[in-house]
């Protein structure tokens, strides 16, 4: 366990479904991130939350909707996804104010999403 | 904008031997951090080692060391005495200290390392 927990680990959903990914950290970090990892592509930053406020939306389509109710929880709400959205979605946390901290960013194990 | 380049899609090494994974970076910022992560097939990104741009000595963490050559903008990872459990994908990443990129990681494409018995 890294201290960042993601659920579910695997998700298969149809293009008309609505689902949510959950990320939880109890490391005392104040910044949380969503990354997308597609096959044969580098990890792509999707969203950044600092102190519960969204500070970055990296040109992500509106079918992905993040929510950060507090500094320990982060959600990614999914609706009307496309097959090309199938990927590993990784959540990470860090302590803002340091250069990613000397231990860097702590990642969860990811949710492997398949859109059918 | 910053960029990380890993030119080795795959590397093979014999167990107990050392291996070097290449990483070059591009940024005009003076203050930045460089990271290496390991991603096994389970998907989790495991932090390995960190090098700050102002650190004069190369970082070491157990069997991992980072060969930091600032003038060449390279940050190669050296794994000594490879073990079968080292087989995984390895990512080089960078974070900047200021501006709008603060606090966000930019990743390279990754290198798949296979350790043979």
Predicted confidence (pLDDT) per residue in A35-62, tens digit: 999 987 888 989 988 877 777 777 899 9
CB distance B35–A42 less than 8 Å? no
Asked if B37 and A104 come within 8 Å (Cβ–Cβ), the reply is yes
The CA–CA distances, whole Å, from A77 to A33, A66, A115, B104 equal 14, 6, 14, 21
A100 touches chain B (CB under 8 A): yes
Q: For chain A, list residues with pLDDT below 70.
A: 1, 96-104
Using the structure block, give the residue that is written with the tokens 């859109």. Answer: A115
User: Tokens in use for A68?
Assistant: 């950060």
Q: Taking the CA atoms of B45, A44, A15 and A116 in sequence, report the sign of the dihedral they define.
A: negative
Pick from B89, B61, B91: which is nearest to B75 by CA?
B91
Neighbours of A50 (CB within 10 A): 19
Q: Do B50 and A41 touch (CB under 8 A)?
A: no
pLDDT tens digits, residue range B87-108? Answer: 999 999 998 765 555 567 889 9
Q: Is the dihedral of CA A98, A100, A106, A112 positive or negative?
A: positive
Distance from B20 to chain A by nearest Cα, in Å?
A: 20
Paired tokens of B103: 């606090």
What pLDDT shows up at residue B95? 85
Per-residue confidence (pLDDT) for residue A102, from 0 to 100? 47
CA separation, residue B48 to residues A9, A10, B45, B69 (Å):
23, 26, 9, 18
Facing B43 at nearest CB: one of A92, A102, A110: A110
**pLDDT score of B97:** 67
Q: Do B45 and A96 touch (CB under 8 A)?
A: no
> Using CA atoms, how far apart are residues B104 and A31, in angstroms rounded to an integer?
10
Kindly state whether A4 is in contact with chain B, defined as any CB-CB distance less than 8 angstroms.
no
Position with higher pLDDT, B13 vs A94: B13
Q: Are A10 and B43 in contact (CB under 8 A)?
A: no
Q: Which of B43, B50, B52, B54 would best serve as a mutation to test chain A binding (most A beta carbons within 10 A)?
A: B43
């Amino acid at each position: 366990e890294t201290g960042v927990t993601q659920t579910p680990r695997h998700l298969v959903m149809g293009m008309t479904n609505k689902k949510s990914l959950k990320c939880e950290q109890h490391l005392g970090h104040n910044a949380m991130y969503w990354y997308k990892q597609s096959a044969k592509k580098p990890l792509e930053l999707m969203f950044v939350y600092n102190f519960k406020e969204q500070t970055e939306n990296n040109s992500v389509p509106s079918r992905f909707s993040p929510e950060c109710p507090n500094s320990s929880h982060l959600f990614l709400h999914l609706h009307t996804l496309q097959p090309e959205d199938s990927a590993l979605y990784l959540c990470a946390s860090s302590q803002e104010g340091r250069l990613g901290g000397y231990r860097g960013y702590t990642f969860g194990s990811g949710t492997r999403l398949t859109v059918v | 904008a910053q960029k990380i380049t890993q030119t080795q899609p795959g590397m093979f090494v014999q167990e107990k031997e050392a291996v070097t994974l290449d990483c070059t970076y591009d940024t005009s910022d003076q203050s930045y951090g460089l990271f290496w992560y390991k991603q096994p097939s389970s998907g989790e990104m495991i932090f390995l080692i960190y090098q700050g741009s102002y650190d004069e000595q190369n970082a070491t963490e157990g069997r991992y060391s980072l060969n930091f050559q600032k003038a060449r903008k390279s940050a190669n990872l050296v794994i000594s005495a490879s073990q079968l459990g080292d087989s995984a994908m390895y990512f080089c990443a960078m974070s900047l200290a200021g501006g709008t990129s603060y606090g966000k990681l930019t990743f390279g494409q990754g290198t798949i390392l296979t350790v043979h018995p």
